[in-house]
Amino acid sequence: MANLFGKAANQLPPKIVVGILIIGALTVAGIAYYFTPKYTRVGYMPKQPIPFDHSLHVTGLGLDCRFCHSFVEKSGFSNIPTTQTCMSCHRMVKADSPKLAALRESWETGEPVRWVRVYQLPDYVYFDHSAHVNRGVSCFSCHGEVNLMRTVYHKTPLSMSWCLDCHRNPEYFLRPQEKVFDLGWQAPTGRQQIEMGKQLIEQGKINPSDNCSACHR
Amino acid sequence: MRTFLLLVSCLVFAIVSVTGLRGTKTMRSPIEIFPDMVRQAKVKEQAPSYFFSDQRASRYPVPGTVPTTDPVDLPYLNTGTIGDYWGDGIPIPVTGETLKTGRERFEIFCSACHGSTGSGNGIATQYGLVGVPNYHSEHTRQMPDGQIFFVITHGQGLMLGYGANLSPEERWAVVAYIRALQLSQNAALSDVPIAERQRLEGK
């Protein structure tokens, strides 16, 4: 019976402990890295039925966001443009481009184009675009440099901590109201931004809520 | 121990290469890790609803009805016509504020085709958009205000309407701004208040 465990078995218990520690540390690191909206959402870039290019239409043609997303400053949600909005130009511009086939089909049948949604909050969160874009929060703070994107992708995590980071310290993000829709505008950096932000907060009496009931109602 | 470490690193490598790094562009839809109540059976804007046979959650108004928010008791403000004729005159107070709104809306919705001065040379005309008229032509200058309002609401010929995107007040503000643009290209010295004339003449 004395030889059932060899000498090497003496090192087995510490080895098992170290092994479990390594596996445990890796699991924690993996969950911290992957089980967050920074991984699960950011970078989502679905294939759209029409390869619509924001950089061409916004930076190239100088269209304002509100030409298409026309209710973003009037209502809680930002509308995706109707087929008519596109057709006002595309009945004549590139009228028979194969890339626009789905658009023409929608125009003839009256069925909406089935754009794939990129940004989407859980249904238990209440969000309002007009409350933000009329108070000096630019599309840029939440959607990134859409004016340069050839295909829209999910830029920000939309997690609760991300919302609260701004609601608690809005001075890092606010900009003058007339620059909200101008995504090419260079915001000042560092102290200057904070000073401008503080001034805007004072002028507009901006006070984003961090009450649970503001977003979960 | 060595085999164990080798196995673990292989496993880590396999997981990272399958799942990728944060922020990688991907076509896979976002994973919902705890999907409790994340998608509820309620009607949300711009999402299909299987409650209706055509799956449109945003419903058309019932035929023959108008929204209560439309100013139906003020037919001229709402349509630009008086009886069967185009009306003339702007039924909202025209102030500096009105012209500012008009200008802002014009630059958003119209300047891509009509150009910022209304000469019909907006950027889209460089890409094959044809038939954009010049506001400073006699035809548009003679157009009654009510007809311009109607063109904005319902479109005309090659132009589609923008009535869905602009409230009646905003449309009238745009009409006022178009009138201001036309004046700007055709003003005579006699239109300037006497007190300001000297400054203009450089005296």
Q: Does residue B53 form part of some domain?
A: no
Number of C-beta neighbours around residue B78 at 10 A? 16
Q: Where are the alpha helices (DSSP H) in chain A?
A: 12-34, 37-40, 54, 65-68, 83-90, 101-109, 129-133, 139-143, 160-168, 190-204, 212-215
Domain annotation covers residue A49: no
Do A160 and A182 fall within a single domain? yes
In a domain, B143, yes or no: yes
Q: Identify whether A18 is part of a domain.
A: yes
Whether A144 is in a domain gets the answer yes
Domain count of the fold of chain A: 3
* A156 and A171 co-located in one domain: yes
Whether A144 and A93 map to the same domain: the answer is no
Mutation target among B17, B46, B125 for the A interface, most CBs of A within 10 A: B46
Residue A128 and residue A99 in one domain: no
For B128, which residue in chain A has the nearest alpha carbon?
A93
Specify if A46 maps to a domain.
no
Is B175 part of a structural domain of the chain? yes
Q: pLDDT digit of tens for each residue in chain A (217 aa)?
A: 567 788 888 888 899 999 999 999 999 999 999 999 999 999 999 999 999 999 999 999 999 999 999 999 998 999 999 999 999 999 989 988 999 999 999 999 988 899 999 999 999 999 999 999 999 999 999 999 999 999 999 999 999 999 999 999 999 999 999 899 998 888 888 899 999 999 999 998 999 998 999 999 8
Question: Which residue's entry shows tokens 């003679």?
Answer: B142
pLDDT tens, B37-52? 888 888 888 888 888 8
Judge: A38–B28 Cβ closer than 8 Å, yes or no: no
B48 occurs within a structural domain = no
Please state, rounded to an integer, the average pLDDT across all residues of chain B: 89
The answer to whether position A177 is within a domain reads yes
CB contact under 8 A, A123 and B22: no
Same-domain check for residues A109 and A123: no
pTM for the complete prediction? 0.92
- By residue range, what is the domain housing residue B113? 74-194
Give pLDDT, residue A2.
62
- Do A208 and A107 fall within a single domain? no
Same domain for A92 and A141: no
CB proximity under 8 Å: B 157-196 to A: 158-161, 164-165
Q: What is the pLDDT of residue B19?
A: 87
Residue A98 lies in a domain: yes
Over the stretch B110-121, which tens digit does the pLDDT of each residue have?
Answer: 999 999 999 999
B129 inside domain? yes
Q: How far is A187 from chain B (nearest CA, A)?
A: 22
On whether any CB of chain B is under 8 Å from the CB of A14, the answer is no
**Does residue B21 lie within any of the structural domains?**
no
Return residues 19-78 of A near B (CB < 8 Å): 19, 22-23, 26, 30, 33-35, 37-47, 61-64, 66-67, 70-71, 76-77
Distance from CA of B36 to the nearest CA of A (A): 10
**One domain for residues A59 and A146:** yes
- The predicted structure's pLDDT at residue B193: 82
CB contacts of B19 in chain A (<8 Å) are 34, 39
Which of A66, A79, A153 lies at the smallest CB-CB distance from B25? A153
Q: Are both A110 and A123 inside the same structural domain?
A: no
Question: Is B36 at the interface with chain A, CB within 8 A?
Answer: no
Residue A109 shares a structural domain with residue A132 = no
A163 and A126 in a common domain: yes
Contact status of B107 with chain A (Cβ, < 8 Å): yes
Please check whether residues A145 and A90 belong to one and the same domain.
no
Residue B56 binned pLDDT confidence (cut-offs 50, 70, 90): confident
Q: What is the DSSP string of chain B?
A: -HHHHHHHHHHHHHHHHHH--TT--B-SPPP-SS-TTTS-SS--TTS--TTSTT--SSPPPPTT---TTS-TT-HHHHHSEETTEE--S-SS---HHHHHHHHHHHHHHTHHHH-TTSSS--GGGGGT---PPPTTSHHHHHS-HHHHHHHHHHEETTEEP-TTTS-HHHHHHHHHHHHHHHHHHH--GGGS-HHHHHHHTT-
Number of domains in chain B: 1
Residue A6 lies in a domain: no
pLDDT of B109 > 70? The answer is yes
Q: Do B40 and A91 touch (CB under 8 A)?
A: no
pLDDT interval class at B203 (50, 70, 90): low
Max CA distance (Å), chain A: 93
CB pairs under 8 A between A and B: 105
Instruction: Flag if A40 and B32 touch (Cβ within 8 Å).
Output: yes
Q: Does A46 contact B165 at a Cβ distance shorter than 8 Å?
A: no
CATH number at residue B183: 1.10.760.10
Q: Domain range for residue A191?
A: 54-63+72-79+119-214
Q: Encode pLDDT of B80-98 as tens digits.
A: 888 888 988 899 999 999 9
